[in-house]
C-alpha cells in the first residue's frame, strides 16, 4: 500500500498536467478560432463576395452556344402565286429533310442603369457581411467573458465553502473532547454537526453549479465538453478589478448602428434601381454559326454553310400594367420604415449605454462595500471562534458569526460577478468590447 501511494500521486499530477488551463484572454482566442458562430459568419462573408461577383457578371460579355438538329418528316408546303413559274398557283416545298445548325452568340450590355444600381449594392452588402462577422465575434467574446466570470464565481463559492467546512471539521474533535470532560453538552455537538452537514450539502450544490458553469464556458469557447478545462485566472478583488476604457459613447462605433446604416443605404439603392427600370437598355451582339442540310442524313454533313451577324438590341419599357410603379411605391415605403427603425434602434443603443453605465457605478459601490463587510465578518468570526475555544463565547455566538460570514462571502462573490458582467455590458454598449478584451 505504501508503494502504491507515490504512484497514485504521480498519476494525479499527470492528470492535472493533462488538463488545459485557460486565462480569460486564452479562452476568448480559443473561441475565436473554434466557435461555430464565427465560422458561420465567415462563410456568410465569403457568400457576400460571391454575390458581388455575380452582380458584376451581368455587365460582362455573355457567350452562349447552341445547336439544333431537325428531321423534317413532312416539310411545309408553300403556294407560289400564279404567273411566276406557271399560269396556276404552284405548291412547292422548300428546304431539305435534315438540317443541323450550330452557332455561338456574344452579347455585351452597353447601357442598363438599373443593372448598374445592382452593382452599386455590392458595397453595402460587403460592408454588412463584415459588420455581421464583427457582431458574431463580439457576441462570442461577450458569451465567453460572461461564462468565464460565472465559472470563477462558482469556483470561489466552492473554495469558501470548503474553508468553512474545514473549520467545522476542526471544531468537531474539540467538542468531542469537551463533551467527554463534561464541559459542553451533547446539544452543542449536535448543532455543530447539523451545521457541518448543511455545509456539506451546500458544497455539493456549489460543485455541481461550478461544473455546469464550466460546461457552459466550453460551449461558448467551441470546446468539446469531454475535454478538461481549468480556469487560470483568479477572481478580481475590488482593488484590482479591471476598469473600463475611456472611450466615449458614440453611435458610429456601435455595430448595430453601423449595420442599420448600411441597410438604409441598401434600401436606397434598391429604390433607385426600381426607378431606373423605366429607362431603355442597349446591348450589342455578334453571332456566328454554320448550317448543314440534305435529304440524306450521312450526306447532309458533307457541306457546311456558315453565316455571321452583328447588331444592336434596344429595349424600351413602355407599359407594365403599373407593376413598376407599384414596385417603386413599395420600395419607397420600405425605405421610410428602415429609417424609422434606425431612429428607434439608436434610442435603444443610447438607453443600453446609460443603463450599463448606471449598473457599473452601482456594482462598483456594492463591491467595495461587500469587500469591506467581508473583511469585517472574517475578523468577527476569527475572534468569536477564538473566544469560543477559550470558553469566553457561546456556541450561538459562533454560529451567528459563521452565518454572517457566509452571508458576507455570498454577497461578495455575487458582487464580483455583477461587476464583471457590468463591465462587459458597458463596453459592448459602446461598441468597444473587442478593443477592451485586448487589454486583458
Question: What is the pLDDT, as a whole number, of residue 164?
Answer: 85
pLDDT tens sequence across 158-177? 998 998 888 888 877 877 77
Which grid coordinates belong to 197?
A: 452537514
Chain-wide mean pLDDT for the chain?
87
Better-scored residue on pLDDT, 259 or 11: 259
Would you say residue 320 has pLDDT above 70? Answer: yes
| Residue 306, pLDDT score | 93
Report in angstroms the alpha-carbon separations of 322 from 99, 168, 256, 331, 431. Answer: 44, 86, 37, 14, 45
The whole-number pLDDT of residue 7 equals: 40
Predicted confidence at residue 96, as pLDDT, reads 85
Mean pLDDT of 293-321: 89
- Distance, CA of 216 to CA of 425 (rounded, Å): 19
- Torsion angle (degrees, nearest 10) of CA 232, 234, 240, 241: 90
DSSP classification of residue 253? G
Phi, psi of 239 (to 5 degrees): -90, -30
**CA–CA separation, 314 and 125 (whole Å):** 30
Q: How far apart are CA 440 and CA 437, in angstroms?
A: 5
| pTM, entire model | 0.82
Q: What is the DSSP string of 275-342?
A: HHTTS-EEEEEEEEEEEEEESSTTGGGS-EEEEEEEEEEEE-----TTHHHHHHHHHHHHHHHHHHHH
Backbone angles phi and psi of 266, in degrees to 5: -65, -40
* Closest among 222, 269, 289, 311 to 28, alpha carbons compared: 222
Place of cell 470546446: 223
Q: How far apart are the first and last CA of the chain?
A: 47
Q: How many CB atoms lie within 10 A of CB 285?
A: 15
pLDDT tens profile 167-217: 888 877 877 777 777 766 788 778 888 888 888 999 999 999 999 999 999
pLDDT in tens, 330-375: 999 999 999 999 999 999 999 999 999 999 999 999 999 999 999 9
Amino acid at each position: 500500500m505504501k508503494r502504491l501511494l507515490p504512484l497514485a500521486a504521480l498519476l494525479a499530477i499527470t492528470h492535472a498536467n493533462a488538463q488545459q488551463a485557460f486565462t480569460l484572454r486564452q479562452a476568448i482566442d480559443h473561441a475565436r478560432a473554434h466557435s461555430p458562430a464565427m465560422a458561420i459568419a465567415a462563410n456568410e462573408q465569403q457568400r457576400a463576395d460571391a454575390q458581388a461577383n455575380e452582380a458584376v457578371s451581368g455587365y460582362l460579355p455573355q457567350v452562349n452556344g447552341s445547336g439544333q438538329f431537325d428531321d423534317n418528316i413532312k416539310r411545309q408546303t408553300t403556294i407560289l402565286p400564279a404567273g411566276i413559274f406557271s399560269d396556276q398557283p404552284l405548291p412547292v416545298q422548300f428546304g431539305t429533310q435534315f438540317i443541323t445548325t450550330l452557332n455561338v452568340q456574344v452579347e455585351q450590355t452597353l447601357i442598363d442603369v438599373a443593372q448598374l444600381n445592382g452593382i452599386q449594392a455590392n458595397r453595402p452588402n460587403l460592408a454588412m457581411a463584415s459588420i455581421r462577422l464583427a457582431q458574431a465575434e463580439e457576441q462570442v467574446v461577450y458569451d465567453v467573458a460572461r461564462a468565464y466570470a460565472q465559472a470563477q464565481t462558482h469556483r470561489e463559492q466552492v473554495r469558501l465553502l470548503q474553508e468553512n467546512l474545514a473549520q467545522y471539521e476542526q471544531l468537531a474533535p474539540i467538542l468531542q473532547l469537551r463533551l467527554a470532560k463534561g464541559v459542553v453538552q451533547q446539544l452543542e455537538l449536535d448543532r455543530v454537526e447539523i451545521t457541518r452537514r448543511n455545509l456539506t450539502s451546500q458544497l455539493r450544490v456549489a460543485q455541481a453549479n461550478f461544473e455546469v458553469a464550466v460546461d457552459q464556458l466550453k460551449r461558448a469557447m467551441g470546446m468539446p465538453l469531454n475535454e478538461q478545462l481549468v480556469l487560470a485566472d483568479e477572481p478580481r478583488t475590488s482593488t484590482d478589478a479591471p476598469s473600463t476604457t475611456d472611450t466615449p459613447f458614440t453611435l458610429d462605433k456601435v455595430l448595430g448602428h453601423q449595420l442599420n446604416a448600411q441597410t438604409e443605404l441598401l434600401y436606397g439603392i434598391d429604390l433607385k434601381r426600381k426607378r431606373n427600370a423605366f429607362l431603355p437598355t442597349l446591348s450589342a451582339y455578334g453571332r456566328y454559326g454554320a448550317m448543314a442540310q440534305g435529304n440524306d442524313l450521312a450526306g447532309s454533313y458533307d457541306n457546311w454553310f456558315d453565316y455571321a451577324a452583328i447588331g444592336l438590341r434596344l429595349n424600351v419599357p413602355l407599359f407594365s400594367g403599373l407593376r413598376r410603379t407599384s414596385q417603386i411605391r413599395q420600395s419607397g415605403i420600405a425605405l421610410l420604415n428602415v429609417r424609422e427603425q434606425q431612429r428607434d434602434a439608436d434610442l435603444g443603443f443610447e438607453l443600453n449605454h446609460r443603463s450599463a453605465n448606471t449598473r457599473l457605478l452601482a456594482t462598483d459601490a456594492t463591491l467595495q462595500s461587500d469587500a469591506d463587510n467581508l473583511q469585517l465578518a472574517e475578523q468577527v468570526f476569527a475572534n468569536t471562534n477564538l473566544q469560543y475555544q477559550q470558553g469566553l463565547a457561546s456556541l450561538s455566538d459562533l454560529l451567528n458569526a459563521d452565518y454572517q460570514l457566509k452571508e458576507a462571502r455570498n454577497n461578495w462573490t455575487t458582487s464580483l460577478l455583477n461587476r464583471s458582467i457590468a463591465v462587459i455590458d458597458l463596453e459592448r454598449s459602446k461598441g468597444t468590447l473587442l478593443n477592451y478584451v485586448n487589454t486583458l
